[in-house]
A and B are shown apart, each in its own frame.
Chain A
Amino acid sequence: MSKAKISRRGLLGAAGAASAVSLFAGPWQHNRVWAQGAAKPLRIGITADASGMYANSGASDKRGMMMAIAEANERGGVLGRKVEFVHIDTETTAATGSRVAERMISREQCGFLVGAVHSGVANAISQVAQKYGVIYINTNSSSPTEAGQNCHRVKFVFDGNGTNFAKAAVKSAIERFGPDWMLLTNDYVWGHDTAAATKTLLKDYGGKVMEEVLIPQGTRDFTSALLKVQQRKPGVVSAAIGGDDQKAMRQQVVQLKMGDKPAWINSQQDWDDVYGLPIETLFGVFGTTWYYRLDLPGVADFVKRYQAMYPETAMRSPGNVFYNGYMAIRELLGAIERAGTTNNIAVIKALEGHKISARDRMQHFDATIDAQTHQVQQTIYLATANKAPKEKDDIFEVLSQAKAEDVRDTDSAKLCKLEPYEQTPTFDA
């Protein structure tokens, strides 16, 4: 790379120029010869949802990424280059995801794409990214298919998935609450995959499924399902219900005073979906990958940095969605530093198999970016409502933490076939 050439495009003032879309960027050649120049800023496309079902989580996701980018720029950028970002709303809609990815790559000249909550959107983006060889990080979609049959060479998955959470929860729940389970499953891919993982584990550990009730996506009235739960009288209800659907379900369960009996197991509880809700709606046991009051080095400082950077945000404490967005960018930039180049294949290789220490992750155990599936194998926590909160936001009580190797999703690994390096287009971002 030649050195110290001035960027062809004017630098954007600050990294915080959200949606800084320059409309007349001039002709852009498709053959991957980005303008050479060491000082050219590194452009990251943030593909977080700003509207639709996951608008809330998408906003947290984006805040996490922006904080990591701001911190990188304070340290002087990456490989001497400033980090810029462009954000375009993916509307929690797959087709929009395709278009946004095309635009980010071919017009906004983004060398990397980061962000997703919904698996449909993540898939749409990753297909386009793979076509161009652009590295894409799925920050927050926890569908097992993401690191299974829909895995890609350019895609990395930073969240724990449904199987990880089921593995952490099922065995001990059978022991405590008995073998009779009822499943409430959101009738879409994430729900089915998560329920399938639970069913396999139930079979392995001697539990049985009394009935599975499929809940159409977008359901707000859970009365039918809750009547059925009462009629069947299971020991455990395992719910794979996502986003706002889950919020509604929680409120209705509380209204009917069904939160304590039967026992409720929730695959994963995104912080954004329960933040600000009354504590009694947090019944049952649920999974998460991070909590802002984990008693680990670095956590308190991380929370302080969040509060300093987002003084206006209603959410006063960061959650798992923010954390994943932050970690994704930090690891991506770290990999670029290690590779010493922005060549996509070199960066992919720097990410694959990379070990992240527990301290860096602010989790209890070390994590690895799985070379085979590209999923981050990490600590999985089980939590419940905190009956003795130390402060207003202290609503989780962490019950246990499982090591990554104990909850590894081996089924997805069998289904994942990454494209060979030579079939992935190569370029320098």
Chain B
Amino acid sequence: MISLSDIPARPSAWITPPMIALALLLLAAPDLLPAIGLYQYLGIEIAIWIGFALGFNLLFGYTGLHSFGHGAYLGIGAYAFGLFQHHVAVSLWGGLLAAVLAAGIAGALVGAFLSHRRGIYYALLTIGFGQIFWFLAMKLHRVTGGEDGLLGIPRPPLTLGPWQVSLTDNRALFYFAAALLMIVVVLCWRLANSPFGRVLQAIRQNETRARFVGYEVWRFKWAVFTLSTMIAGLAGSLLAMAQQSAYPDVMSLHQSGLIVMMVLVGGGLVSFWGPVLGVVFYFVARDVLGGLTETWLLWYGLIFMAMVMLRPEGLAGMLHDLLRRSRPRQPSAAPAPATEAV
């Protein structure tokens, strides 16, 4: 089985060919989506979840820390963005900053508690904290709107100096989300291939050994957890803009489990680009199959089980094998090429 450590070392590259391909795909998406029978709003959601999944995979795939409560930080970001618009000022940058900070602070506190834990205890505690945040979001309904959600969140215009663009149109919001996504992609890529990223992978392979080598392992675990929650917060703020509201649902165990499933099905354990494939696969399958059958989750669950049993390398791993066998042929179905990373 291939693994993330097989990633070719290209520490100096900021921009890689798959990134350019992803950027081109995002650029064309608003015209591409309707042509293949999808719609703009779905594109926004996919872009948001890809960012969330890439941040999550720094923790899950690279460091081997299994958080089953990550939806909580997505939700915190969404609420923070909305509350900032309602109570402080209608400001895009302010809201984004508030979301990243709020999710980051929550993540830093939880991370401090978690980072001395290992293995299954780590996973269990992430569930516990995730449930607490979810419960609070429902319970503090005077602040969050409870079950009904925090409603009427505006989409503030994008202001850069004298230049101002309205984001009320779904197309405009998509491009904004895509631009932020590209920043997250570059950031995660650089991080994963930096000395910091090497330590994370060392922790995954053998935490005890990493400690004996002299790394203060818990600091790294804390840092990567906090970082991934900050990215989740950023994704959450975009979600709040897309839905123009923030709901507690994304914080539930069910939804937190879904991001784990998406990342694994995509091949997050073996490829930087795995989460991208996983998110696209999940959302497109949900939209297409979900319109045809109400039991589509059954099929998704079965696919997931089969992958865990037979191909834990996920879609990215399968694609890698496919490419290795028939080098010259380019697969046409792939939403994003994963050749470089694996």
A119: B residues at CB distance < 8 A: 147-148
Instruction: Determine whether the beta carbon of A124 is less than 8 Å from that of B149.
Output: yes
Instruction: Determine whether the beta carbon of A98 is less than 8 Å from that of B245.
Output: yes
Q: Are A94 and B247 also in contact (CB < 8 A) when A23-B288, A89-B294, A120-B148 are?
A: yes
Instruction: Determine whether the beta carbon of B147 is less than 8 Å from that of A189.
Output: yes
Chain B's nearest CB lies how many Å from the CB of A70? 22
A94: B residues at CB distance < 8 A: 148-149, 245, 247, 249
3 nearest interchain CB pairs? A102-B41, A21-B291, A188-B147
At the interface, yes or no: B287 with Cβ under 8 Å from chain A? yes
Q: DSSP majority for the B interface?
A: helix
Given contacts A96-B249, A217-B138, 13 further A-B contacts (CB under 8 A): A23-B37, A25-B37, A26-B34, A28-B34, A98-B245, A103-B41, A103-B287, A120-B149, A127-B243, A127-B244, A131-B244, A187-B139, A217-B147
Report which of A27, A28, A106, A143 forms a contact with B148, defined as CB distance below 8 A. A143
A23: B residues at CB distance < 8 A: 37, 288, 291
Chain B's nearest CB lies how many Å from the CB of A109? 11
A297 to B147, CA, bound (A): 40
Chain B's nearest CB lies how many Å from the CB of A33? 15
Chain A's nearest CB lies how many Å from the CB of B251? 11
Chain B's interface size range is 35 or more
At the interface, yes or no: B157 with Cβ under 8 Å from chain A? no
A93: B residues at CB distance < 8 A: 247, 249
Instruction: Determine whether the beta carbon of B249 is less than 8 Å from that of A95.
Output: yes
Tell me the B78-111 residues at the A interface (CB within 8 Å).
none
At the interface, yes or no: B319 with Cβ under 8 Å from chain A? no
B40: A residues at CB distance < 8 A: 30, 102, 106
Instruction: Determine whether the beta carbon of A103 is less than 8 Å from that of B247.
Output: no
At the interface, yes or no: B35 with Cβ under 8 Å from chain A? yes
B38: A residues at CB distance < 8 A: 107
Chain A interface residues (CB < 8 Å from chain B):
19, 21, 23-28, 30, 50-51, 88-89, 93-96, 98-99, 102-103, 106-107, 118-120, 123-124, 127-128, 131, 143, 145, 150, 187-190, 192, 217
At the interface, yes or no: B118 with Cβ under 8 Å from chain A? no
A190 to B138, CA, bound (A): 13
Tell me the B157-179 residues at the A interface (CB within 8 Å).
168-171
Chain A's nearest CB lies how many Å from the CB of B100? 21
A51: B residues at CB distance < 8 A: 294
At the interface, yes or no: B39 with Cβ under 8 Å from chain A? yes
Q: Mark B38-74, 1 if CB is under 8 A from A, else 0.
A: 1111100100000000000000000000000000000
Instruction: Determine whether the beta carbon of A95 is less than 8 Å from that of B147.
Output: no
Instruction: Determine whether the beta carbon of B292 is less than 8 Å from that of A21.
Output: yes
Q: Which residue of A lies closest to B141 (CB)?
A: A189
A103 to B290, CA, bound (A): 12
A26 to B38, CA, bound (A): 9
Instruction: Determine whether the beta carbon of A95 is less than 8 Å from that of B250.
Output: yes
Q: Mark B135-156, 1 if CB is under 8 A from A, else 0.
A: 0001101000111110110000
B249: A residues at CB distance < 8 A: 93-96
A123 to B139, CA, bound (A): 18
Instruction: Determine whether the beta carbon of A188 is less than 8 Å from that of B291.
Output: no
Instruction: Determine whether the beta carbon of B138 is less than 8 Å from that of A188.
Output: yes
A106: B residues at CB distance < 8 A: 39-41, 170
Instruction: Determine whether the beta carbon of B42 is less than 8 Å from that of A99.
Output: yes
A155 to B173, CA, bound (A): 25
